[in-house]
Amino acid sequence: ALLIGMVLDQQVKMEKAFAGPYELKRRLGHLDVREIASMDPEQLDKAFRERPALHRFPGNMASRVQAMCVMVVKDFGGDAESVWRDARDGDDLAARISRLPGFGEMKTRILIAVLAKKFGVRPAGWEKHAATWHSVADVDSAESMAHAREVKRDMKAKAKR
């Protein structure tokens, strides 16, 4: 669920992105990585497009989620937690996450911060790969959510300059 939420956390509000796995499970009846990986892509696309759509770009996100699930099955034995649980150190953790479809540098850094701050996953050297800005990893109230949105908005504005 965490990996799917992270994939969906793009061009939609954080709440929508992280509610996506819950709604996908409701629509499919499961969140089994192996089943999603082997699903007919059209069926998964249909589940993403069902109203209300799971994302602003449901087709693209359905493909990305499925590709991520395929990689988790192929490279991590279908065990999403092994992506971080079996990482030797922070460098390995960052490499494992960044290989997943839908995870660029920023998402990788944010996920590492989430894993460290919310789940206690802190392999040696994780700090140099974690987001140092206020992100979903720091959200625990309406105020911190508003602050995370403000930081995200400012980062986007700076990137456009």
Under 8 Å between Cβ of 65 and 44: yes
In a domain, residue 147? The reply is no
In a domain, residue 103? The reply is yes
In a domain, residue 141? The reply is no
Whether pLDDT at 16 is above 90: yes
Identify the domain containing residue 54 by its residue range. 2-131
Rounded-to-integer distance, Cα 38 and Cα 136, Å: 30
Count of the separate structural domains present in the chain:
1
CATH number for the domain spanning 34: value is 1.10.340.30
Rounded-to-integer distance, Cα 128 and Cα 51, Å: 40
pLDDT at 146: 86
In a domain, residue 148? The reply is no
In a domain, residue 143? The reply is no
In a domain, residue 41? The reply is yes
Average pLDDT over residues 130-149: 89
Rounded-to-integer distance, Cα 87 and Cα 52, Å: 37
In a domain, residue 58? The reply is yes
pLDDT at 118: 96
Whether pLDDT at 157 is above 90: no
Tokens representing 156 are: 């986007």
pTM, two decimals, is 0.91
Q: What is the per-residue pLDDT across 62-96, written as a single tens digit (0 to 9) for each? A: 999 999 999 999 999 999 999 999 999 999 999 99
Cα-based angle 38, 17, 117 (whole degrees, multiple of 5): 100
In a domain, residue 151? The reply is no
Rounded-to-integer distance, Cα 133 and Cα 152, Å: 9
